[in-house]
Structure 1
Amino acid sequence: MPNNIPGNLHISNDVLADLAGAAALECYGVVGVCAPSPIDGIAKLLPQSRLRRGVVVRQGEEGIHVNLYIIIEHGTNISTVCKNLVDQVTFVLEDYAAVKVDAVEVKVEGVRVR
């Protein structure tokens, strides 16, 4: 007979941001994740150890809301890359963390040649 111990599991927004950032880097056409920079308008790539600075995760009533700030590769179709990114991030968060994703918003901060 299995032992079921009652309790709650809480996954922090930082962990969800790390998962979303890693999923973003796996998508074709994404050069990297960048921190939102409204002041100077220059997008700077973040190293893998700081991906969560380019991902904002908020808890909503229906699920989580994810904002991704990315730089895409020059010559790729922006709408196709963003759609694939939304699908990939949604899949990873729902599959790995078992959370309901209500919305994923992608903000393209720049275009670069790889």
Structure 2
Amino acid sequence: MKNIIKNSLGSINISKEVIAVLAGNAAMESYGLVGMVSRRMSDGIVELLGRENLGKGVEVQVTENELIIDLYIAVQYGTKISEVANNIAEKVHYSLNKFLGFSPDKVNVIVQSVRVK
């Protein structure tokens, strides 16, 4: 599994929830991001998540040889969406590599909403 680190002393298993919170925190530091939103959008209503619920706006998929992170976000009106999404993906790659020692294979940024801040 991609989220298991093995060494001579044993192995470290990093849960999906920890990866999701780290990715959410990294994304929140990006310019143009209003906030994370819930993965489940009901009736077209998008609810911004607070800092304590960042993991709910992130979906982590771990397979034998691949780590995929989906981030569901709301962007600020007037910003270039592609730039915001690219900055978020780069920040998540960098932060996960810094804190966990490995980076995701793919970071998908799904823009659910545009908000006036």
TM-score, scaled to structure 2: 0.89
Q: Whose strand proportion is higher, 1 or 2?
A: 2
Task: Find 1:65's aligned residue among 64, 68, 75.
Answer: 68
The answer (yes or no) to whether the contact 2:94–2:103 under 8 Å persists in 1 is no
Aligned to 2:10: 7
Partner of 1:94: 97
Give a deviation string over 1:67-111, Cα, whole Å, max 9, x none: 000000000000000001100001111111112311000000001
Structure number with larger C-alpha Rg:
1
Letter in structure 1 aligned against 2:106: A
CA deviation after TM superposition for structure 1 residue 5, in Å: 5.9
Q: Which runs of 5+ in 2 are unaligned?
A: 1-6
* Backbone CA RMSD of aligned residues: 1.4
- How is 1:1-114 mapped onto 2 (pairs within 5 angstroms)? 6-114=9-117
Identity fraction in percent = 40
Q: Unaligned stretches of 5+ in structure 1? A: none
Structure 1 residue 13: Cα displacement? 0.6
Offset, 1:43 = 1.1
Q: Structure 1 stretches (4+) deviating beyond 2 angstroms?
A: 60-63
Report if the CA contact (8 A) 2:58-2:71 is conserved: yes
> How many Å apart are 1:41 and its aligned residue?
1.5
- Structure-1-length-normalised TM-score: 0.91
Q: Is the 8 A contact 1:17 1:56 kept in 2?
A: yes
Shift of 1:37: 2.7
